[in-house]
Structure 1
Amino acid sequence: MKGYFRKRGIRWSFTIDIGRKADGTRNQKTKGGFKTKKEAEQACAELIAQLSKGDYLEPSKKTVQEAMEAWLDSILKSTLRISTFDNYSKAIGKRIIPALGKLKLKDVNTDHIQSFYISLTREGLSPEYIRYLHSILKSFFKHQVRMQNIAKNVVEFAVPPRIGRKEQKTWSIEEAIRFLEAAKEDNQSYYIVYVLALYTGLRRGEVLSLRWRDCDLIQGKISVCQTLYYSNQQFHFLEPKTSRSNRLVSIPDSVVEILKTHCLEQEKHKKDMGSAYEDYDLIVANEIGKPINPRSLTGHFRRTIQKARVPKIRFHDQRHTHATILLKLGEHVKIVSERLGHSNAAMTMNVYSHVTSDMQKEAAKKFDMALQVKGTCQ
């Protein structure tokens, strides 16, 4: 097997004869675009070696868009949770395809991927989101390698931005109380949502999917066994994302009493509504018994923040508020981890490292005081 070299303009190319096609014509492989003859000779030698060993892979002529849309429909749609699939679809359609979609799979290199990350950073997107796109691309190109559409995963050599330490935005105990007081004056259903979020650390979807049969008001415990997801104007009740998310969370007597009162008021409302009420057994529901739309809840949450005159935070930050307050009160990190449904206590310590750092200072002061007191007594 031998290569033939040729200079076209200022670039060099090579051609290799690899036998005959089924119709008897010559089967050749040609590659060009090399700056020097030496580069062409080196690439030619590598290709001949691959062909000799049987390692050569014919690159796919598909574009990134064609291959990625096929990957979404044929693989991801049947294997991912609906919420994860929706998020992948949005990220691919909004970010990846506009930037890389027209490139042929075989032509994509690490520079393309790295330039993509740089442009996203300049646009002001967070390192977390860019790393999320990186994980999608890495998975996609890994699949293309497995399907033998390309020889290597070029994304593995790209470096996404590093995630720096990000301090969580939370409320103090006084701010949480002020917010709940403002919410109580407005809408009972939303008020119950906020009470559960702040007193339990449950995620939004977990609170909105809670049923009365999940709640033991005698023992003061809530069983988290599903989550609510809203997509394409439809509600979906899904299993928790991880096995640790499926958990039992204790609630204090004050919350038990709030829920008892809410239950009585809800039962009265059901009777008043009659057959117009669709009973999903939900603890929090709209006027006709259906789940509360997460978008409506977000809008109400923002308005209540303004009314209560407390710092602006995301709905999810109520979960961080719950955890932060517990840790500052001296609760063991393992208990906080269990309430949040984290995979392990190490994850909780990592997320709330800023809190545990402050606690270490207090621990050092307590130790110092103990030794000083002991010293004065001798």
Structure 2
Amino acid sequence: MKGYFRKRGNLWSFTVDIGRKTDGSRNQKTKGGFKTKKEAEQACAELITQLSKGDYLEPSKKTVQEAMEAWLESILKSTLRISTFDNYSKAIRKRIIPVLGNLKLKNVNPDHIQSFYVSLSREGLSPEYIRYLHSILKSFFKHQVRLQNITKNIVEIAVPPRIGRKEQKTWSIEEAVRFLEVAKEDNPFYYVVYVLALYTGLRRGEVLSLRWKDCDLKQGKISVCQTLYYSNQQFHFLEPKTSRSNRLVSIPETVVEVLMTHRVEQEKHKKQMRNAYEDYDLIAANEMGRPINPRSLTGHFRRTIQKATVPKIRLHDIRHTHATILLKLGEHVKIVSERLGLFMAD
């Protein structure tokens, strides 16, 4: 078995006879696009070795888009949490498919992937997000290798941008107090969310899913056992992402008093609303008793920041503020990590 080489314009190609087809005609494999004859010879030798060992796979004719959509629906949809699947789906359909979707699986090379990362960086996307896309692509091509649609995972060769160290934005105790004062006057339904977030370090979804039965106000304890996720105009109460997320958090007397007052006001509001109030037993509920939409909360948070004239931070940064304040007050870092539901090795 040997190859035949040919130069077309400035590029080289090769052809290898690999036997006969069922109709008796010659079965040949041709590959081109090599800059030098030496490159073509090396690729030809590699193909002949694969054929000799029986390791050769006929490359898939599917496009990246066809294979990715099949991967999403047949594998990811049934194996990932709904929140994780939604994030994967958005990233794939918004970022990956528009750029790489029309390429044939067999034709994707490391240069395509590397150029993709460069274009994302120029667009202003963060290194963290680009590395997130890198992890999705890596998993996708690993799956295609497993299906024998391609022979190797070319994404492993590409290099995503390095993540630099970022300074976390947090509030001082004075700034946090000023924010809470403004929030209390503005909207009592959201005020209790901010109090819980700042004093416990719970995630947004964890605060929004807290029920009264999860609270022991006499002992000053809150049990974190679920999280709220909003998708396709539906609320989903999900299990915590990890075993560490399922935890018991202590709350100070200040928060106990806020919750007791809030409960009294909530009961009054229920009676006024009568049958129109949907009782989910939620601590943080909207005027109709339903869960608070996370996006609405985020919008209110930004507006309240402006009113309170405190530094602009993300809602998630309240967790960092909580941790920073505890550490400044002398709390042990392991205790802080446990409150946040984070894993910390001994």
Q: Which residue of 1 aligns with 2:154?
A: 154
> C-alpha separation between the residues in 1 aligned to 2:11 and 2:312?
59
**TM-score, with structure 2 as normaliser:** 0.97
The total of aligned residue pairs comes to 346
Q: Of the two, which has the highest radius of gyration?
A: 1
Q: Secondary structure at the match of 2:186?
A: coil
Shift of 1:345: 5.6
Gaps of 5+ in 1: 347-378
Matched, 1:106 2:106: yes
SS of alignment partner, residue 241 of structure 2? coil
DSSP-derived class of the 2:152 partner: coil
State the 1:49 CA deviation. 0.8
- Could you say which residue in structure 1 is the equivalent of 2:69? 69
Task: Give 1:94's aligned amino acid.
Answer: K
Distance of aligned partners of 1:183 and 1:38 in 2 relative to their CA distance in 1, 3 Å threshold: closer
**Following the alignment from structure 1 to structure 2, what is the Cα–Cα distance between the partners of residues 309 and 6?**
71
Is 1:293–2:325 an aligned residue pair?
no
What's the TM-score once normalised by structure 1's chain length?
0.89
User: For 1:114 and 1:329, how far apart are their aligned partners in 2?
Assistant: 46
2:337 corresponds in structure 1 to: 337
Output the amino acid matched with 1:148.
Q
* SS, match of residue 163 in structure 1: coil
Q: Deviations over 1:164-193 (max 9, x none)?
A: 111110000000111111111121110100
- Listed one character per residue, the Cα deviations across residues 69-98 of structure 1 (whole Å, up to 9, x for unaligned) are 111111101111111111111111111111
Letter in 1 for 2:205: G
Q: CA deviation at 1:155?
A: 0.7
> Secondary structure at the residue paired with 1:240?
coil
**Partners in 1 of 2:212 and 2:345 — Cα distance?**
29
- Kindly indicate whether the alpha-carbon contact (under 8 Å) linking 1:205 and 1:227 is maintained by their aligned counterparts in 2: yes
Work out whether residues 333 and 345 of structure 1, in 8 Å CA contact, stay in contact via their aligned partners in 2.
no
Q: Which moved more, 1:136-145 or 1:299-308?
A: 299-308
Q: Aligned pair in 2 of structure 1 residues 324, 18: CA closer, same or farther (>3 Å)?
A: same
Matched residue, 1:373: none
Which deviations, in whole Å up to 9, do the C-alpha atoms of 1:298-349 show, x marking residues without a partner? 1111111111111111111111100000011110000000000001168xxx
* RMSD between aligned residues: 1.2
C-alpha separation between the residues in 2 aligned to 1:48 and 1:30?
12
- Between the aligned residues of both structures, percent identity stands at 87
CA distance in 2, matches of 1:332, 1:246: 20
2:21 maps to 1:16: no
Find out whether 1:312 has 2:330 as its counterpart. Answer: no
| Structure 1 partner of 2:212 | 212
1:175 paired residue number: 175
Structure 2 unaligned segments of length 5 or more: list them.
Answer: none
CA displacement 1:187-218 (0-9 Å, x = unmatched): 11101000000000000000000000111111
SS class of match (1:282): coil
For the residue of structure 2 that corresponds to 1:283, the secondary structure is coil
- Are 1:187 and 2:187 counterparts? yes
Q: Does 1:38 align with 2:38?
A: yes
Q: Partner residue of 1:2?
A: 2
Provide, for residues 95-124 of structure 1, a one-character-per-residue CA deviation record: whole Å limited to 9, x for no partner. 111111111111111111111111111111
Amino acid at match of 2:286: N
Q: 2-side partners of 1:304 and 1:33: how far apart?
A: 59
Counterpart of 1:226? Answer: 226
The amino acid of 1:217's aligned partner reads L
Name the SS of the counterpart of 1:292 in structure 2. Answer: coil
Q: Which residue of 1 aligns with 2:125?
A: 125
23-32 or 46-55, larger mean C-alpha shift: 23-32
Tell me by how many angstroms 1:40 deviates: 2.3
